[in-house]
Amino acid sequence: MTTDFQLPAIDYQAISPLLILFGVACLGVLVEAFVPRPARRRVQLGMALVGVLAALGAVVLLAGTNVVTAGGSVTVDGPALFMQGALLAFGVVALLLIGERRVEPGGAFVAQPAITVGSEADQRQASAPGATEVFPLAMFSLGGMALFIAASDLLTMFIALELLSLPLYLMCALARRHRLISQEAAVKYFLLGAYASGFFLFGVVLAYGYAGSVDLAAIHAAVDTSQMNPALLYAALALIVMGLLFKTAAAPFHVWAPDVYQGAPTPITAFMAACTKVAAFGALLRVTYVAFERLAWDWLPVIGVIAVLTMLVGAVLAVTQTDLKRLLAYSSIANAGFVLVGVLAVGRTGASSAMFYLVAYGFAVLGAFAVISLVRDREGETTHLSRWAGLGRRSPLVAGVFTVVMLALAGIPLTGGFTAKFAVFSAALEVGEGWLVIAGVVSSVIIAFPYLRVVVMMWLSEPSESTATMVAPGLLTGTALGIGALAVVGLGVVPGPVLDLAHDAALFLR
Amino acid sequence: MSVLLAQGVEVTAGEAWTFWLLAPIAVIGALGMVLARNAVHSALWLVLTMLALGVFYVVQSAPFLGLVQVVVYTGAIMMLFLFVLMLVGRDAADSLIETLRGQRAAAVLVGGGLAALLATGTYRWLEGTPAAGLAEANAEHGGNTEGLANLLFSRWVLGFELTGALLIVAALGALMLTHIVREPGERLSQPEQMRARFAPGNYPAPKPGPGVFATSSSNTTPAKLPDGTASPRSISPILPIRELTAAEAADKETER
Amino acid sequence: MLSQAPTLADFGHDTWWVIIIKVLAAFVFGVVMTLLGVWFERRMIGWMQVRPGPNRAGPFGLLQTLADGLKMAFKEDLRPRGSDRLVFLIAPCISAVCALTALAVIPFGPIVSIFGERTPLQVTDVPVAVLVLLAVSALSVYGVVLGGWASGSPYPLLGGLRASAQMISYEVTMGLAVVTVFMLAGSMSTSEIVAAQASNPELSIGGATLAVPGWYVLLLLPTFVIFAISAVGETNRLPFDLPEAESELVAGFMTEYSSLKFALFMLSEYIHMVVASAVITTLFLAGWRAPWPVSVWDGANQGWWPLLWFMGKVVLVMFVFVWLRATLPRLRYDQFMRLGWKVLIPLALGWVLVLGGTRVAQVSDLSRSEQLWLGGAVAAVLLLAVLFWPARRQPSRPSPAEQVAARPPGSFPLPPLDLQVPPSPQARRAVAAKRTAASGRSEAEPAVKRPLEGRAGTDPEGGEQDG
């Protein structure tokens, strides 16, 4: 027996947010097993909220930490903490939406997803209380995302990628209404996601072949010192970035997004749109800035083309959409392009602008999906644009919130969207990437059209028989809406503190 | 064994022989897996590839990995695949209709292109790279298994633990998507079924067949009991009892 | 004495003809043990069922299996029309090959000299030999599963399905069980596990040191029990022979097989039993090492003698296999799965945890008394948990008489529960005939009617039964 075994030093405080998230998730699984059914939802929601808030608190306490720990698996640095904080804030809002049961009897989730769609048993469970397993799943996913941002080697990053994706695939299949579309979305997401993971893993292997290590820092060092053929590294970079861009829904890896956004239960769509984007861009930033920074001149043009393509595809296709969830899906694609512009402005300003953009976009999109979950008819949510005509006259308050959110997404001044776009474009200009800015501005103009069309339809059309009704938001959705709207306006009016915070945080630890 | 012990930079003849014997088999297995029409055959081809890979690992001084590959992948995972395939049905060959026009040609072209690019690329990029071998790594902790354990529980301890979390998610998901909670009383247990069978109002004995008193071979015609009355039990409850017309009911002169 | 025990370094140096001899010997061992094993099983079961068993061909019927095998070879080889040609052929081969391969890593004895060459009495050994055994047993199930599938008929398919589910369930248990053996032996190689059981660990109880036999059947009794149960499950033997359950599935996966292919399945089944016995012997009964009274003699563990001890132990374990078959009825499928997943796996996991905790406590800096305190605390917690575990209250069963009394009127008629059989109708008729002759009226009628009285009236079709 060998006795030379040494446990690695683990800075438990530095990884406490992760531990809290995973711990609560595991507890949630136990709750499913041992707590009686009627009490589960309250216990789960309470535990999840407390857990995420505690993790958020831990992140705040960690501010300023710069440490690599857990045997070199986790890097806790400024960007990681900033984005973990954003992620957890979005997580709170998304959990509020997930926990909502006022708007629809039983909540947005089906009670027993195993029951065949359309069967007698399915009709019987039409208004049964929804599955509470979503809470632990969401917590696992959040934990995976938090780790994804902070992973300091590609293998841990891969595990985190799986850990954040698997629950998402599952949660996509749990919609209460339109279950077949929901299950189809889950299968599509799962299959394409599996391919993307495969690409990522291939890339990791090639990177290991080049650098002899999967550590991001070691790869960075090996760029200068390795004797291997650099083509190996380019292939690795291409495959890894492909896997990451899939998660961010950048063109041409975006095709899953509209179907999945439309099919998934709306709270999960909100969760995906806000949180997954942060996580994916966090990892992308870390990989490109930490491991492949010395190759920046090689990957800048390629990812630049992808960014332009993403913005234009998202913007142009958003114009043609008649379904609000699909519209927001294409908008999320376009927004991924805008964030990419920030990423491409390699440097502290670029990172901080991208991070700020993610925060502004996340709150806006959470608010948008919160409103979508409220507009309903007998069949459930009505997402067709024509049904929204005249909603502004019927329920001005919520329609007002939606208007603010839409304006923010369109990038109108005095909203978070404007500040964010401004930050991203100025960062790109600073490093001389003018062509990206031109493409960005053009697509901003294009994509403003569908947003404003919704606003115009809501306020300037007469309500007709086909106009859907707006359900009064319950406490949870109301809170979510309030947070979203306040954040959007706040980031537009006084962006200073968050911008400064992002700027202070935007230094990667290598 | 000589292969097992042969490490270092030199690739021994045994290792080379094993590789060149098994590599084509592995590739053929992979191709067969993609091309086989029958799902079970597909799975079997994959088993072949996995076995070949397992042998490669063993030959490259990673016996633990190689055998775990066999136990876990071919033993458990592919067995689960087969289990599901067999449940689905043995003739479940894929439909060959293309839903997207030209998709197959495009898939062959693009997939083949990517494979060729990566294969030739890795070959060219790695050509002439000296083999490091695992001898040094294996010797460090007194063996392959020990070395692996050391890595798993020190450098990669977080990833190891999180793989556990991943498995929890997978188990939870499998349970959610397949398990239907049965309310108590929804499905009768065997004793309950027996009790119900013998409860008053139920008739536990076999139902009367048409028997020798049948007047017609139609299964909508009730059997006649010896006293001449019709037994409604002899026909399925979903079939309407057929009234015999006077002509049908009339004496057919066959009784004598 | 220990110099005779091979270590891993002793393998891989044989000359080519020694290798061939050893491989052939292992093969012949497998086949001969099958021939003898079938005979042994039939004779033993016959003995337990108080009948002679096969006793015609050869002395004590020893050649019966050989005769059966020859007969099998001359039978027509049938292949069902719906079968999958190639897979149908491969399946029995996979079974047989895998079963035989497992013999390669079984240590039959210490280092011996064969025509002047000193070599361990074992075909080969690798650092992960026990994993080889697990892998081979995992692969051999492919034979059963594919045989069931390729036959193209329902009963074999069901047999194959059961086999695959059974393998997945019991392979996990088996793997978890052997983990404890690895923990104690510090190795996965079979020869080193045997060597590790040679040492007698000293146990100090209240100051007095006591040398405990190093056999893992004693040190790791829970592992042994779990492993033995899952080994029976893995070999598809009664009471776990669900893949071929003849009362449910005709002959399960081999229903459609005949002639030599069937013979191959039979062969692999018995080799499996032999291998399972040999593995249990190796892992828990100290392999070829002599048992206690013999081990006093110095030469017991040297030369060719250990082969005898090994064979003795293998036959002993095989006897238990046969004994189980003669004694126990087959489990229902769901009971079998429940046993695997809800009893054996948690048990194996818990035992790994306990053993791991003990090991950690041993190597940690805790003092003796602290260790005792810790162990005592854990034991106390477990004891309390067991004592205060909410017991499921068994509802008291009413007696048969009460149950009968509780039946609502109109229930189906019951035969008399007190086993007082009513007089035979023939006897009655004779009495009745006499009475009629005497008084012209039968009185036996009401006595017969009484047990049937209950159902008259409420059953709308009561008339039907009475005719």
Q: pLDDT tens across A472-491, in order?
A: 888 888 888 888 888 988 88
Is pLDDT at C456 greater than 60 in this prediction? Answer: no
**Each residue of A246-286: pLDDT tens digit?**
998 888 888 899 999 999 999 999 999 999 999 999 999 99
d(C-alpha A336, C-alpha A280), whole Å: 10
> For residue A228, which residues of chain B lie inside 8 Å, CB to CB?
125-126, 129
Give the residue-averaged pLDDT of C171-188: 86
CB contacts, 8 Å: A72 with chain B: 155
Respond yes or no on whether ipTM tops 0.90.
no
pLDDT for residue A56:
93
What mean pLDDT, rounded, does chain B reach? 79
For the ranges B112-116, B241-245, C241-245, C373-377, which has the lowest average pLDDT? B241-245
- Residue B18: which pLDDT band, with cuts at 50, 70 and 90? confident
Q: Render pLDDT for A123-137 as a digit per residue (tens, 0 to 9).
A: 888 888 888 899 999
Q: What's the pLDDT at B211?
A: 55
- Neighbours, chain C (3 or more CB pairs < 8 A): B
- Given the structure tokens 């190795």, which residue do they identify? C187
The answer to whether the CB atoms of C411 and B199 lie below 8 A apart is yes
- On the CB side of A117, CA atoms within 13 Å amount to 13
Rg of the Cα atoms in chain B:
34
* Percent of residues, chain A, with pLDDT higher than 90: 37
Residue A232 to residue B166, Cβ atoms within 8 A = no
Task: Indicate the residue of B4, B75, B202 with minimum beta-carbon distance to C138.
Answer: B75
Q: How far is B167 from chain A (nearest CA, A)?
A: 9
Q: Does B92 touch chain C (CB under 8 A)?
A: no
User: Which pLDDT score, from 0 to 100, does residue B49 have?
Assistant: 92
Tell me phi and psi for residue B95, to 5 degrees. -70, 140
Considering only residues C455 and C222, tell me which one the structure prediction assigns the higher pLDDT: C222
Contact assignment for B90 to C145 by CB distance below 8 Å: no
- Least confident piece of the model among A295-304, B10-19, C157-166, C378-387: B10-19
Q: Do B75 and C11 touch (CB under 8 A)?
A: no
Least Cα separation, residue B190 to chain A (angstroms):
23
Which among B80, B51, B30, B38 is positioned nearest to C86, based on CA atoms? Answer: B38
Residues contacting residue B168 through CB under 8 Å, at least 6 positions apart: A25, A26, A29, A140
**pLDDT value for A158:** 94
The pLDDT assigned to A100 comes to 86
C12: helix, coil or strand? coil
pLDDT at C429: 67
Q: Which tens digits make up the pLDDT trace of C330-383?
A: 888 888 888 888 888 998 998 888 888 877 777 777 777 777 888 888 888 888
Nearest C-alpha of chain A: how many angstroms from B156? 7
Residue C191 has pLDDT above 70, yes or no: yes
Structure tokens at C215: 């056999």
Pairing of strands B223-224, C109-114: unpaired
CA–CA dist C25, C7 (Å, integer): 21
Give the nearest chain A residue to B124 (CA atoms).
A229
Q: Distance, in angstroms, between B129 CA and closest chain A CA?
A: 8
Of C135, C146, C168, the CB nearest to B70: C135
pLDDT at position C457 is: 40
Per the document, the length of chain C is 467
Considering only CA atoms, which of C70, C65, C42, C35 is closest in space to residue C259?
C70
Confidence of residue A170 (pLDDT cuts 50, 70, 90): very high
B2-92+106-140 — its CATH code?
1.20.120.1200
Within 8 A of A8 by CB-CB distance, chain B residues are: 154-155, 157
Per-residue pLDDT at C437: 63
Q: Is B90 helix (H, G, I), strand (E, B) or coil?
A: coil
Determine whether the interchain pair B63/C128 forms a contact, defined as Cβ–Cβ distance below 8 Å. yes
pLDDT, mean of residues C50-75: 86
Cα separation, A70 vs A72, in Å, equals: 5
Nearest to B67 among C128, C160, C412 (CB): C128
For residue A51, the model assigns a pLDDT of 94
CA distance B238 to chain A (A): 20
Can you give the pLDDT at residue C455?
42
Q: What is the pLDDT of residue B208?
A: 65
Q: For the residues B196-209, what does the mean pLDDT come to?
A: 75
Cα separation, A340 vs A350, whole angstroms: 9
- Return the top range by mean pLDDT from A108-112, A227-231, A442-446: A442-446
| Angle between helices A277-286 and A154-172 in degrees, nearest 10 | 170
- Contact residues, chain A, for B157 at CB < 8 Å: 7-8, 10, 70-71
Which comes out higher in pLDDT, residue A5 or A494? A494
Residue of B71, B205, B208 with shortest CB distance to C134: B71
Residue-wise pLDDT tens digits, A412-433: 888 888 889 989 999 988 888 8
Closest chain B CA to residue A115: B180
What percent of chain C clears pLDDT 70, i.e. is strictly above it?
85
Q: What is the pLDDT of residues C15-44, one digit of tens each?
A: 888 888 888 988 898 888 888 888 999 999
The pLDDT value given to residue C182: 87
Is some CB atom of chain A closer than 8 A to the CB atom of B150?
yes
Query: What pLDDT is stored for residue B199 in this prediction?
Result: 78
A353, A427 contact by CB (below 8 A): yes
Percent of chain A with pLDDT over 70: 99
Q: Provide the shortest C-alpha distance from residue B164 to chain A (in Å).
A: 10
pLDDT in tens, A3-19: 567 778 888 888 899 99
Which residues from chain A sit within 8 angstroms of residue B124, using beta carbons?
229, 231
Nearest C-alpha of chain B: how many angstroms from A301? 21
Does residue A196 contact residue A238 with C-beta atoms inside 8 Å?
A: no
Q: Is B121 on the interface with A (CB under 8 A)?
A: yes
Optimal mutation site among B80, B85, B86, interface C, most CBs of chain C within 10 A: B86
pLDDT band at C1 (very low <50, low <70, confident <90, very high): very low
Whole-number pLDDT of residue C439: 61
Q: Is some CB atom of chain C closer than 8 A to the CB atom of B234?
A: no
Picking from A8, A25, A133, the nearest residue to B155 by CB comes out as A8
Per-residue pLDDT at A162 exceeds 90: yes
The per-residue pLDDT of chain C, averaged, comes to 80
* Two structure tokens written together for A89: 């804030």
β-strand pairing of A67-69 with A74-76: antiparallel
pLDDT of C9 reads 72
Half-sphere exposure of B69 (CA within 13 A, CB side): 18
The pLDDT of residue B91 = 56
pLDDT higher than threshold 50 for residue C311: yes
Number of residues assigned to chain B: 256
pLDDT band at C239 (very low <50, low <70, confident <90, very high): confident
Locate the domains of chain B by residue range.
Answer: 2-92+106-140, 142-181, 207-245
pLDDT attached to residue B95: 63
Q: Phi-psi region for residue C457, left (φ > 0), alpha (ψ -120 to 50) or beta?
A: left
> How confident is the model at residue C467, as a pLDDT?
33
User: CA nearest B104: which of B112, B92, B93?
Assistant: B112
How far apart CA A10 and CA C413 sit, in angstroms, is: 75
Q: Identify which of C153, C84, C241 has the alpha carbon closest to the alpha carbon of residue B39.
A: C84
Q: Looking at chain B, which subunits does it touch, using at least 3 CB pairs closer than 8 Å as the criterion?
A: A, C
Angstroms from A162 CA to nearest CA on chain B: 7
Give the pLDDT score at B144.
82
Q: Which two tokens stand for residue C125?
A: 């050994």
Check pLDDT > 60 for residue C449.
no
Mean pLDDT of B37-47: 86
Q: Give yes or no for B76 touching C (CB within 8 A).
A: yes
**Per-residue pLDDT tens for A446-467?**
989 999 888 888 888 888 888 7
Give tens-digit pLDDT for A25-71.
999 999 998 888 888 888 999 999 999 999 999 999 988 888 888 88
Q: Give me the half-sphere count of Cα atoms (radius 13 Å) on the Cβ side of residue B104.
A: 7
